[in-house]
Amino acid sequence: MRIFGLNRRIVRALLGSQYAHMLEYRAEIALWALSGVLPFIMLSLWSGSDARSQLGLDGVALDRYFLSAFLVRQFSVVWMVYAFEEDALLGRLSPYLLQPLHPLWRYVASHLGEQLTRLPFAAGIAGVFFLIQPQAFWIPSLGGFLLAWIATWMAFAIAFLLQSLIASLCFWSEKATALERLLFLPFLFLSGLLAPLTAFPPAVQAWVRWTPFPYLIDFPARVLSGDPVDLAAGFAAQLAWVGLLLPLVLVLWRAGVRRYSAMGA
Amino acid sequence: MVGFLGANGAGKTTTLKMLCGLIYPSSGQVLVAGHQPQRRHPDFLRRITLVMGQKQQLIWDLPPMDSLRVNAAVYGIPDRVASRRIAELSDLLELGEELTRPVRKLSLGQRMKAELLAALLHEPEVLFLDEPTLGLDVNAQLRVRQFLAEYNRRTGATILLTSHYMADITALCPRVLLIHQGQLFHDGPLDRLTSRLAPERHVRLELEQPAPAEAFNGLGHLDSLENCEVNLRVDPASLTRVLAQILERFEVRDLEVNDPPIDQLIGELFRQGSL
């Protein structure tokens, strides 16, 4: 049986091939993992700042938050728009469009393959963090870990759909990555990567909660680090964003494909 | 098998993309295998394939076998059937251990053959091939050509082929379509296209003694006269009469009657830009 064109065999074949593909780039992926240490830099900045008391997180909780932010980011990073733009410009998209499988599944599989390749490097970096900050060491409960895993996966789904929306614009503009850079700025400041959401004044926090950004890092990081957080509201918001973005992506994609002229072919 | 000819920019690739559903027709209707291609219905996609010269669907850093496994899963081909088809097609294409070496390490010819294998794994009924031999050396071109002929014989698939190499067309395609300035100029056998483009036959003579140009009056159009070598263009209807007169008037050492080469004719046609 196929669900959205997928069945177990396709999932296995796609994930297997994409994992093997990403293993070919493991050195590069290790560097990407290493380049994601921004939360640790922010941790050291906040730890030495008088303003840390405004964050509502004590020393250990702050350590755990930024480590969790690092881990969530590692497993929700999306580069779909760059891969898609290249494929569209070089005409590689054409054979994918002519197969009875939605091309977006291939990009999902690429990301999951890359996350799997990234796993040991991210775990290694977390291990080094605990060596340096042994007081921050904790093992989440099984339930907490599962919830954090789901929240991270939902964060990945939102980020992927946001980029797919922008990538669909490649059908109209050949430089959709420029738009992605516009999205990166609010993501950087509002997602919780530079500071927990509680660093913002309450009015700003209330406004930011209406955007998808805090559900990309802040919410899953708090779930993982065990901070008290409104789980129902967080998951509901994540589901709502997925529910809003998914039909938009599908509609824009369909309209884009109508326009597509297999550039570069 | 149908050869699809036209000058650069005539719209061959655009037509192929429209026929396989990559481009929506701005007007009119397209029907392929009973489907409207632009809807890209899964049943339609399972019945066609498109191979575009240098564009590839194989994953660059992995052996072709990995991409073949994905294709088998996507097209719902059972493992046992996929293995049998891979063995048959790789045998025809003379691919062996190349299937287990990363695509990036294969030669252009090997890559093209592996691309063909990937494109044909689901046994499509309609093949759209856009320059499948582009950039290949003469041997590789010949092998791809032989493979396509054999595939067509075995499966009875419809193959629409564009190529810059006329040898591909002459060797494979009993039917030829020629588009020119957005219009279908010819649809039929290649030899009929030749007679449309060049209604005269070429007669080459080698004489024992040189003869003046006036000696050929009434024998057709004198293309060239150089010492004992003469080239004439003759109306096919009067060919027998002209040949008899030539043999009567001159001492002939050698005589050849040819159709002009098709690639030369089409090349001239495209250079002139008009019919």
Average pLDDT along chain A:
91
User: What gap in Å lies between CA A27 and CA A118, rounded to an integer?
Assistant: 10
pLDDT at A105 over 70: yes
Measured between beta carbons, which residues in chain B are less than 8 angstroms from residue A15? none
B229: confidence class by pLDDT, cuts 50, 70, 90: very high
pLDDT in tens, A168-181: 888 887 777 788 88
CATH of segment(s) B200-258: 3.30.70
Q: What is the DSSP letter of A171?
A: G
Which has the closest alpha carbon to B257: B240, B271, B269?
B240
Of A72, A56, A37, residue with least CA distance to A199: A56
Which residues, in sequence order, are CB contacts of B95 under 8 Å at separation 6+? Answer: B64, B89, B110, B113, B114, B117
d(CA B12, CA B14): 5
pLDDT at A126: 95
- pLDDT value at residue B261: 67
Burial annotation B117-155 (CB, 10 A radius, 16+ → b, else e):
bbbbbbbbebbbbbbbbbebeeebbebbbebbeebeeee
pLDDT above 60 (res B274): no
By the CB < 8 Å criterion, does B194 face chain A?
no
Q: Give the tens place of pLDDT for each residue, A68-96.
A: 999 999 999 999 999 998 888 887 888 89
pLDDT reported for residue A186: 92
Contact of A161 with A154, CB cutoff 8 Å: no
How do B126-130 and B158-162 pair as beta strands? Answer: parallel
Give the nearest partner residue to A17 out of B46, B69, B119, using CB atoms.
B69
The residue ranking higher by pLDDT, A143 or B259, is A143
Contacts of B24 in chain A (CB under 8 A): 258
Q: What is the pLDDT of residue A156?
A: 98
Gap between the Cα atoms of B50 and A265, Å rounded: 12
B74, pLDDT greater than 80: yes
Cβ within 8 Å, pair A17-B17: no
Number of Cβ within a 10 Å radius of residue B166: 18
The pLDDT of residue B265? 72
pLDDT at B121: 95
Q: Which residues of A touch B22 (CB under 8 A)?
A: 94, 97-98, 260-262
Which positions in chain A touch B48 (Cβ < 8 Å)? 98
**The pLDDT of residue B87:** 95
Query: E strands of chain B, at which residues?
Result: 2-5, 48-52, 126-130, 158-162, 175-180, 183-189, 201-207, 221-226, 229-234, 252-258
Q: Report whether pLDDT(B24) > 60.
A: yes
Please report whether residue A85 resides in a domain: yes
| Three-state secondary structure readout of B94-162 | CCCHHHHCCHHHCCHHHHHHHHHHHHHCCCCCEEEEECCCCCCCHHHHHHHHHHHHHHHHHHCCEEEEE
Q: Which residues pair with B224 in a beta bridge?
A: B231
Average pLDDT over residues B228-249: 90
Q: Measured at the alpha carbon of residue A48, what is the angle toward residues A44 and A54, in degrees to the nearest 5? A: 100
Question: Of A16, A20, A98, which has the smallest distance from its Cβ to B45's Cβ?
Answer: A98
What confidence category does residue A51 fall into, taking pLDDT thresholds of 50, 70 and 90?
Answer: confident
Q: How many CB atoms lie within 10 A of CB A135?
A: 9
Confidence band (pLDDT; 50, 70, 90) for A196? very high
Query: Which pair of structure tokens corresponds to residue B23?
Result: 């481009």
Contact check, Cβ <8 Å, B62/A92: no
Structural domain boundaries enclosing A217: 8-259
User: What's the number of domains chain A is made of?
Assistant: 1
- Each residue's pLDDT tens digit, B30-56: 999 999 999 899 999 999 999 987 667
pLDDT: which is higher, B67 or A86: B67
Q: In this complex, how many residue pairs, one in chain A and one in chain B, have their CB atoms less than 8 Å apart?
A: 85
What percent of chain A has pLDDT above 70? 97
pLDDT at A264 over 50: no
Q: What is the CATH number of domain B2-194?
A: 3.40.50.300
- Of the candidates B225, B232, B228, the one whose C-alpha atom is nearest the C-alpha of residue B204 is B232
CA max distance for chain A: 58
Distances (CA, A) of A200 to A189, A210, B120, B161: 10, 14, 58, 63
In tens, the pLDDT along A180-190 reads 888 888 999 99
**In this structure, is residue A1 part of a structural domain?**
no
pLDDT in the model for residue B191: 80
User: Structure tokens of B47?
Assistant: 């019945």
What's the confidence (pLDDT) of residue A265?
A: 42
CA distance B93 to chain A (A): 21
| Residue of chain A whose alpha carbon sits nearest to that of B40 | A98
Q: How many helices (H) and strands (E) would you count in chain B?
A: 10, 10
Mean pLDDT of chain B: 88
Q: Is residue A141 part of a domain?
A: yes
Distance CA A69, CA A217 (A): 6
CA distance A104 to chain B (A): 14
- State the smallest CA–CA distance between residue A42 and chain B in angstroms: 37
* Conformational region of residue B196, where left means phi above 0, alpha means psi within -120 to 50, and beta covers everything else: alpha
Which CA distances in Å does A12 have to A40, A117, B66, B187? 35, 16, 12, 46
- So what's the pLDDT on residue A2? 66
d(CA A66, CA A63): 6
3-class DSSP state for residue B61? coil
Between the CA of residue B148 and those of B20, B57, B132, what are the distances in Å?
19, 19, 10
Cα A153 from Cα A134, distance rounded (Å): 28
Chain A partners within 8 Å of B50 (Cβ)? 94-95, 98
Q: How close does chain A come to B221, measured CA to CA in Å?
A: 44
Cβ–Cβ below 8 Å for A12 and B73: yes
Tell me if chain A has a CB within 8 Å of the CB of B73.
yes
Identify which of A94, A97, A100 has the shortest CB distance to residue B52.
Answer: A94
* Shortest Cα distance, chain B CAs vs residue A37, angstroms: 29
Residue range B172-187: average pLDDT?
Answer: 87
pLDDT average, residue stretch B157-179? 89
Q: Where are the domains of chain B?
A: 2-194, 200-258
Q: For residue A3, is pLDDT > 70?
A: no
Is B159 in contact with B127 (CB distance < 8 Å)?
yes
How many beta carbons lie within 10 A of that of residue A121, not counting itself?
Answer: 18
Domain presence at residue A2: no
